[in-house]
Amino acid sequence: MLTEQKLHTTQGQRIAIVAGLRTPFNKQDTGFKQVFAADLGTMVTNELLNRFPVERSLIQQLIFGQVIQHPDVPNIAREIAVTLGLSHVQAYTISSSCVTGLQAVANVASSIVSGSILSGIAGGADSISNSSISLNPRMMQLFKDILKAGTWERKFELFQQLSWRDLKPHSVNLRDYITQYSVADVSEQMARHFNISRQQQDEFTAYSHQKAAMAWQDSLLRDEVMVSFPYPYENVVVADNMISPSVKAKRYEHFKPLVDKNYGTVTQWNIAKACDGAGAVMLMREDIAKAEGLEPLGYIRSYAMTGNEVWENMLSGTTFASSLALLRAGVQLQDIDLIDMHESSAAQTLGNLRLFEDETFARQSLNRSAAIGAVDMDKFNVLGGSLAYGNPRAVSSLRILIQSLFELKRRGGNLALIASSGLGGLGAAMVLERE
């Protein structure tokens, strides 16, 4: 039987999140078009350390997430550490779809709880603009065979087997490897399973954009989004550029379905789009943070990392992880002041909101006697979500963590639930507390 999760060191100290920061999220080939993920990560980590000065020796671990991998830089965490004069730290890179950021935070938190470190940085960075391009497997094998061929006649014979189709480069694969489902495929599946109409998806997306635009208009994000001056140092990037401030039905009604051209409901409008960005948070043992004169943004009360079925409703990990995180925190949904979910798509988000209320699902799949409960939409994604901001996969769950803590402080609340799901049937959730 699962019991409450006690995220305290042997000395009884909590894990404090003392600082959080992200770059603006920019659409492909715009503000960060020449900036690789490692450079984005270096930029945000450097700014974090400059804004919240602590002795570099105090940072003992740096874990970074990267989903869109670049073969020339397989461990961006180590590159970031060395570049910033943190050669002494343990640094490694992880990849876990859209839950990557929260997984990095959980790993650093676990190291603090175990007593292995006093403080660490968890981050994530992704660049869709500079994703690697590969040749198809047949092309690569033919090249190998040509190089190995013993005679020029054989080389020419093999060369003649090449076609223009073979020469077509392959961009980064953003599909689940086992099922070959994309986020659009899974979202269409969930839309049909939960009977979510295109109108519901489109309107939910529009609402996400409106809230995000209002957050920028009211200057609510200025303390958590850094002004960036990226290579080649010609332009300053000051804000997210994927938000549509004024959204009318005529704008999104013309988008065509991505999967089923005749009956599909998932479009480029109501699905989160890949983009460029980075984020980082600094975690510290509670007493160390206070000794350094730092006021924590909040503390990690509980977390959960889960796996679920991949062939049906793959992106329901949000519900699985949220259920477990609430149980481990010893709280109910109604105790939560803010709820922030990563919006992979409108269908995925609306589907998970349905699962939160589903009594049968709770008993059969969550081992609960009752449903998690209905989400109070006045507490939900109050500053907009990934449908508006964009989805740099390794960073999206970090955005909601940082955003929730800053907003919790503004509202004077105490508890926040943040959650994400990802391709591969992955889920992640955390309960954060202010006091």
In a domain, 362, yes or no: yes
Exposure string for 403-424, b = 16+ CB within 10 A, e = fewer:
bbbbbbeeeebbbbbbbbbbbb
Single pTM value for the model? 0.93
The three-state secondary structure class of 59 is: coil
Question: Closest by alpha carbon to 107, among 116, 59, 98?
Answer: 116
DSSP letter string, 142-201? HHHHHHH-SSHHHHHHHHTT--TTTT--B----S-TTT---HHHHHHHHHHHTT--HHHH
In a domain, 356, yes or no: yes
| CATH number reported for the structural domain that contains residue 379 in this entry | 3.40.47.10
In a domain, 246, yes or no: no
Q: Using omega within 30 degrees of 0 as the cis cutoff, is the peptide bond preceding 53 cis? A: no
| Rounded distance between C-alpha atoms, residue 275 and residue 259, angstroms | 21
In a domain, 343, yes or no: yes
Q: How many CB atoms lie within 10 A of CB 27?
A: 18
- Give the CA angle between residues 383, 386, 387 to the nearest 5°: 100
Straight-line distance from the first to the last Cα atom of the chain, in angstroms, rounded to the nearest whole number:
28
Positive or negative, the CA dihedral 325, 424, 384, 93 is: positive
In a domain, 378, yes or no: yes
CA dihedral 348, 353, 356, 360 (to 10 degrees): -70
* pLDDT the model gives residue 285: 96
DSSP letter string, 225-257? B--B--TTSS--B-S-S---SS--HHHHHTPPB
In a domain, 318, yes or no: yes
Q: Which domain holds residue 323?
A: 183-220+299-433
What the block records as the tokens of 218 is 């009211």
Q: How many CA atoms does the CB half-sphere of 389 hold within 13 Å?
A: 33
* pLDDT the model gives residue 1: 47
In angstroms, what CA-CA distances link 223 with 238, 245, 326, 379?
A: 12, 21, 29, 21
Strand partners, 281: 20, 122
In a domain, 65, yes or no: no
| Rounded distance between C-alpha atoms, residue 376 and residue 74, angstroms | 42
Tell me, what amino acid is at 317? G
Question: Closest by alpha carbon to 125, among 22, 16, 235, 259?
Answer: 22
Asked if residue 333 lies in contact with residue 341, where contact means CB atoms within 8 angstroms, the answer is no
Number of domains observed in the structure of the chain = 1
* pLDDT the model gives residue 249: 78
In a domain, 339, yes or no: yes
Question: Closest by alpha carbon to 21, among 124, 114, 102?
Answer: 124
Asked if residue 64 lies in contact with residue 125, where contact means CB atoms within 8 angstroms, the answer is yes
Output Rg (C-alpha) for the chain, integer angstroms: 22
- Sequential pLDDT tens for the chain (435 residues): 456 788 888 889 999 999 999 999 999 999 999 999 999 999 999 999 999 888 999 999 999 999 998 888 889 999 999 999 999 999 999 999 999 999 999 999 999 999 999 999 999 999 999 987 766 777 778 878 888 888 888 877 887 787 777 767 666 778 899 999 999 999 999 999 999 999 999 999 999 999 999 999 999 999 999 999 999 999 999 999 999 988 887 888 899 999 999 999 999 999 999 999 999 999 999 999 999 999 999 999 999 999 999 999 999 999 999 999 999 999 999 999 999 999 999 999 999 999 999 999 999 999 999 999 999 999 999 999 999 999 999 999 999 999 999 999 999 999 999 999 999 999 999 999 998
Chain-centre distance of CA 251, in angstroms? 27
What the block records as the tokens of 163 is 């076609």
* pLDDT the model gives residue 170: 62
